[in-house]
Amino acid sequence: MTFGTLLATIQDYKLVGVSNLETLSTLLNDTFGDWLASQGISHLMMLGDNTVCLNVRGELKHATSINGIKTSSRCLVISLDKVDENPETIAEALKCYSSDGDGTYVWVIPDGYMAALTPAEQEWEEHGGGYFSHESICISNTADRDTRCLLEVLYEDPTLENVSCEFNVSAHRSVHYRLDKLKDENGEPLIAKDAPVSYKITSRDTRIVVQGSRILTSGENSVFASFGTVMAWCPQ
């Protein structure tokens, strides 16, 4: 897929009689929406018979002078007749924008539960060995800037007080947290064991992608284990 294909499709729609700008915009977003998203574009809108606006998911770092293309804050306005012979200049113009990253700002993992360790597992852990029942979260930040994230732990049991913590995720980096290793300000485990919970992860500055994982061990010396990985749910 290229911007040349996009411009050619605009002309094809016009040739078959699609003249209404709103209808044309809808058809183009339906056809190219996923590919446009991969280029950092959230939406396309036809402004006139030969003018299209691309809504960019990123901030303008510096303006550029390309014939037929006007760079503005978070959008490109393109004169189709001026870029028709070299449509890939649109890709060059997009390099003037930073990336807001993939994913979204808010994620929820509704099903959380960390089983308490058996006495044998507790002793094993004290001596630095073993792989025990626990949960973890992984956060990927593909944006061009750092972000700060808030993890909120929402208990089912009304007698337990919800807890939270914050952490940073650098640009083009990922972080992985074993939730049983998180500590509160007193050095105690942040999240209670044997308590159903949900997790909400909110990114302040960029879009992120979140994954949750759980391992459950059982049997003598934890000889049995089950492992599950789920994508978090994004309400946006």
Name the pLDDT band for 80 (thresholds 50, 70, 90).
very high
Provide, rounded to the nearest whole percent, the portion of the chain with pLDDT above 90.
63
End-to-end CA distance of the chain: 27
Looking at domain 106-231, its CATH superfamily turns out to be TM1070-like (2.60.290.11)
Structure tokens belonging to residue 162: 């919800």
**Greater model confidence, 125 or 53:** 53
pLDDT tens profile 107-152: 999 988 888 877 777 777 777 666 677 889 999 999 999 999 999 9
Residue 174, pLDDT above cutoff 90: yes
Are 47 and 21 in contact by the 8 Å Cβ rule? The answer is yes
Name the pLDDT band for 219 (thresholds 50, 70, 90).
low
| pLDDT recorded at residue 75 | 92
- Give the number of other CB atoms < 10 A from CB of residue 180: 18
Domain extents in the chain:
3-94, 106-231
Structure tokens belonging to residue 132: 């025990």
**Greater model confidence, 216 or 193:** 193
Mean pLDDT estimate for the chain: 89
| pLDDT recorded at residue 233 | 81
Helix, strand, coil percent values for the chain (each to nearest 5): 25, 40, 35
DSSP-derived pairing of the beta strands 69-72 and 75-79: antiparallel
Residue 45, pLDDT above cutoff 90: yes
